[in-house]
Amino acid sequence: MRYFIELSFNGKSFHGWQNQPNAITVQSVVEDALSKLLKTDVSIVGAGRTDAGVHAKQMFAHFDAEEFDSELLKYKLNSFLPKPVAIHKIFKVKSDAHARFDALSRSYSYRISRVKDVFEFENAYYFKNDLDSNLMNKACEVLFDYNDFECFSRSNTDVKTHNCKIMDAKWVETNNELRFEIKADRFLRNMVRAIVGTMLDIGTKKLNIDDLHKIIKSKNRSEAGASAPAHGLYLYTIEYPKNISL
């Protein structure tokens, strides 16, 4: 049977999602727990990669295994896994369902704290300079004019295309927090953090809207702003076709 597993994780303790030699990743600890509990080697395929320090409110992965009690396994996994990882659901899907390729969209949220909050400094980026959120929202509208976002992609990544369809992008102010929300069919490595870093340059008037057009057209990562720190970024939701589960 093929199963989807829905989980969340705090990325502080991990070197990202994907397996790496001599590093603790979310994928490696989940695979290890599944293999021990199911008493067979289990490999999982995630919906995408997250960099070191990035969090996920919702992540999906698929794996193949003999049939089991999903609720019992979920309970055992949550007891077995480290505290920064939580399993929310395990469910059967079609035999050809794919956590990465069947995803219709992914949404990210980037949290910026406007005050020095001792309880949030590891979960949101404290940015003390003044920001023009109206100008930053105007910059968001520019993103809808383009499909090629090579300028926001990490250099030397092995991808066939830098095209992404951005469906939504906006800045939202809540209390002492400014939050960037973006939804697209796919994302390039480091893309959201590079966009946020560039938007912060616009919000502080280091760059203007015309500059953003030039940056995107340049297809050059060095033209865009510095990447915002990883600890403010959250993979928020992933959408799949409704008929993917059995």
Active site positions, annotated: 51
Question: In whole angstroms, what is the distance from residue 154 CA to residue 148 CA?
Answer: 14
Q: How far is CA 102 from the centre of its chain?
A: 16
Residues 6+ apart with CB under 8 A from 75: none
Residues 6+ apart with CB under 8 A from 176: 113, 114, 115, 117
